[in-house]
Amino acid sequence: PVPGISTGPYANSSYGKEVGYASAVTAIDAKLGLYFETLKKAGLDQNTITFFSSDNGASNEGNHDYKYFTSSGALQGYKRSLHEGGHRTPLVVTWPGKIAAGTRSLHQFAFYDFLATAADLAGVATDALPSHDGTSIVPTLLGKGQDLPPFVYHEYCAPNEKSTGWGQSVRIGNWSAVCVGDKLSAGKIPACDVPLLYDLGEDVGQTKDVAAKHPDV
């Protein structure tokens, strides 16, 4: 349940059924404010690294229509989509005195990179970690830059693109491939014969399939 729906700032707004979503976002923002205020009061604000992100793209659940607030922006899709809108979200990191305020990066980060990143920040040796696929992004956080990961991979059963099937997506630089097929139990891997291919540098909304023009990719 979302607090403040009937008493919050949007109780008398024209948002209709979107009042719940608007109230939830505002509540999260307020709680983040309390979090940072508490860190400051405890004298820990200058020695705390905070990561803030989402585990998926824009929600389209709980009586909420993701298009109402343009939650996916220019991206195609929403939570559980194989297209960028299903899994591409911002990552916000604060580290006073180390990460310059207001800086931005296009470096690609997935949640499986967090273990390596946290270990790097804590001074834990890579060989002390369990087997993982992640890469530390500490160089990027400190403004030193680093190579993009070779690829970023996702797969879903019953994705929005085909609720009765499964699919895969892979990002390599600005290339994005989306492959949708029948149920995983059908045993077909990859899920399709020819994936959809997009050049995100020219088409971030993934509106033009250019697979036929780039068979080499």
pLDDT in tens, 131-141: 999 999 999 99
Amino acid at 86: G
Question: Predicted confidence band at 4 (pLDDT cuts at 50, 70, 90)?
Answer: low
pLDDT in tens, 86-124: 999 999 999 999 999 999 999 999 999 999 999 999 999
Residue 154 exposure: Cα atoms within 13 Å on the Cβ side = 26
Percent of the chain with pLDDT over 90: 86
Amino acid at 193: D
Which DSSP category does 196 fall into? Answer: E
pLDDT in tens, 149-179: 999 999 999 999 999 999 999 999 999 999 9
Q: Would the CA dihedral through 145, 141, 170, 90 be positive or negative?
A: negative
On whether the CB atoms of residues 148 and 140 are closer than 8 A, the answer is no
3-state secondary structure at position 130? coil
Q: Determine the pLDDT at residue 124.
A: 96
Nearest-angstrom CA–CA distance, 21 and 6:
13
Nearest-angstrom CA–CA distance, 176 and 190:
15
What are the start-end ranges of the H helices in the chain? 19-41, 114-122, 138-141
Residue 1 has pLDDT above 60, yes or no: no
On whether the CB atoms of residues 81 and 161 are closer than 8 A, the answer is yes
Q: Determine the pLDDT at residue 130.
A: 93
Question: Predicted confidence band at 185 (pLDDT cuts at 50, 70, 90)?
Answer: confident
